[in-house]
Amino acid sequence: MRKLTLLFLFLGSLAVSAQTLQDSITFDPQQQINAAQRLLSGNYGKAITVGGYGEMTYNQPEAQNGELDVQRLVLLFGYKFNDKTQFITEVEFEHVQEVYIEQAFVNYAVASNVSLRGGLMLVPMGIVNEFHEPTTFNGVERPATDNVIVPTTWRELGVGVTGRFNELSLGYQAYVFNGFKSAELDGEGGINGYLKGSNGLRGGRQKGIQSTINSPTFSAKLDYYGIPGLRLGLSGYFGDTQAEDGADDLDGSMVGVSMVGVDARYAYQRFTARGQYIHASLSGTEAYNNATGRDLGSALQGWYAEAAYNLLPQTKQQRLFAFARYEAYDTHANTAGSVVRNDAYNRTDITTGLSYHIAPGVVLKGDYQFRDNALEGNDVANRLNFGIGVWF
C-alpha cells in the first residue's frame, strides 16, 4: 500500500511540474499549441513529462433519455533523449472501456525550423483534428463537421517533416501515411466495405491497428500567422484507400480520396471567431458501392462558422465565453451511379451556449443544439448538453 501511495505521489508531482498556463480560446491564436506540442516544447526541465486531458459529458436529446459518459480520458507521456530527439505518446480511454493509442511518434529536430517525425500521428486537416483537447473548443461536443467529414480523431502511421519559417510567418507539415481501409474479403468471393454514406470515410480509420497498406497517401498543411490575431490554415490529403490482401485484386475494392480544407482562427480583445471548410472528392465510388452494397457518396462537404465573446474582464483569470456556431455538413454532397442522394445526410446544426473556464485547464460547458436535415418530414431531435473538460 505504501509503494502505491508513493507511486501516485510521484505521478502527481510530475503532472504538477508539467503544468503550464493554457486556455481554450486563446487570445494569441498564432501561438496556440496542442497537448503533444506542449510536451515537445521542452520547457519543463525534465527528461520525462506527463500530461493529460479528459471530458465528462451529459447529452439530453429532446423527448429521450439522457446519457452520462466519461467520454474520454487521455494520458500523455513524453521522453527527451537529447536536445534533438523526443518521443511522444497518447493513451486514450474511451467510455471507460475502450483503449486506443492516439499518437506515438519520434520527433527529430534537424534544425531550428525543420523536424522529422515517424510513427502514429494526427493527420493535419482543419482545426479540431489537431486541437481537440476539451478546453480548446467551444461546445460540449466537437463540431459535427470535424466528426463526420474530416473525420476526427484521424490518425495514421507514417513519416514526414514539420517546422516553421518565422521570417515568413509560415508553419508547414508534410507526411506520407497509410490510408483509410475500404474493404476486406467476405469469405464468399466478394468483399465487405468499411465506408458508407452516413459517415463517409470515418469507418475506414485504421488508427495504427495492424494497418494494411497498398499504396501510400500524402498529407500536408500550411499555417500562416503573419497578421496580428489571425491564423489561417490550408490542408490537403490525397491518395487511395487500402484493401486487405486478396480484396485489393477485386474491382471496386478501393476509392480515390482528394480532400482539401481551409480554416481560420481570429481573436481581438474579448472577441474570438473561427471557421473552416472541408471538401472531399471521391473517385471510384460507383464500382465500390456495386461491389460492397454500400451507399458511399462521391463528394463529402462541410463547413462551420463560430463567434464567441468573453463576458468577463480580460484582467480576470477566469473566462466566460458566450458562443454561437452554425454548421452544415453533407456526406452525400454528390453521388455516382445508381446511388440516390439521401437528403437525411445533408445536415445542419446550430449550437449556442456558454464555456466557463474556472481556471486555466478546467472548463464547464453547457449548450443547446438545434439539429435538422434536408429530408422532408424527418424530425431530428434537438439536444441539450453539459460537460466538464480538463487539460494539464
Cell numbers at residue 282, please?
Answer: 471521391
**E-state strands within the chain:** 48-61, 67-80, 85-94, 98-111, 114-122, 155-165, 170-177, 181-185, 191-193, 217-224, 230-240, 242-243, 256-268, 271-283, 299-310, 319-334, 346-359, 362-373, 383-391
- State yes or no: pLDDT of 9 exceeds 60: no
- State yes or no: pLDDT of 307 exceeds 60: yes
For range 282-287, the mean pLDDT = 98
CB 134 within 8 A of CB 102: no
Q: In what order do the strands lie in the sheet with 242-243?
A: 191-193, 181-185, 242-243
Instruction: Identify the weakest region by mean pLDDT among 31-40, 102-111, 379-388.
Output: 31-40
Residue-level pLDDT at 13: 42
Cell numbers at residue 302, please?
Answer: 462541410
CB 365 within 8 A of CB 356: yes
Residue-level pLDDT at 29: 76
For range 156-184, the mean pLDDT = 97
For range 270-299, the mean pLDDT = 98
Residue-level pLDDT at 87: 94
For range 204-229, the mean pLDDT = 96
CB 135 within 8 A of CB 361: yes
Percent of the chain, pLDDT > 70? 92
Residue-level pLDDT at 82: 87
pTM: 0.88
Q: What is the pLDDT of residues 365-376, one digit of tens each?
A: 999 999 999 999
Alpha-carbon distances, residue 83 vs 47, 77, 117, 264, 320 (angstroms):
10, 17, 15, 33, 39
Q: What is the pLDDT of residues 34-52, one digit of tens each?
A: 877 877 765 445 578 889 9
Band (27; pLDDT cuts 50, 70, 90)? low
Q: What is the pLDDT of residues 52-69, one digit of tens each?
A: 999 999 999 999 999 999
CB 52 within 8 A of CB 89: no
Residue-level pLDDT at 42: 59
For range 248-271, the mean pLDDT = 96
For range 127-146, the mean pLDDT = 97
Instruction: Identify the weakest region by mean pLDDT among 11-15, 30-34, 180-184.
Output: 11-15
Band (3; pLDDT cuts 50, 70, 90)? very low
Band (25; pLDDT cuts 50, 70, 90)? low
Domains of the chain plus CATH, in order, are: 2-391 (2.40.160.10)
Q: What is the pLDDT of residues 309-363, one digit of tens each?
A: 999 999 999 999 999 999 999 999 999 999 999 999 999 999 999 999 999 999 9
pLDDT averaged over every residue in the chain: 91
For range 96-121, the mean pLDDT = 96
Band (6; pLDDT cuts 50, 70, 90)? very low
Residue-level pLDDT at 16: 37
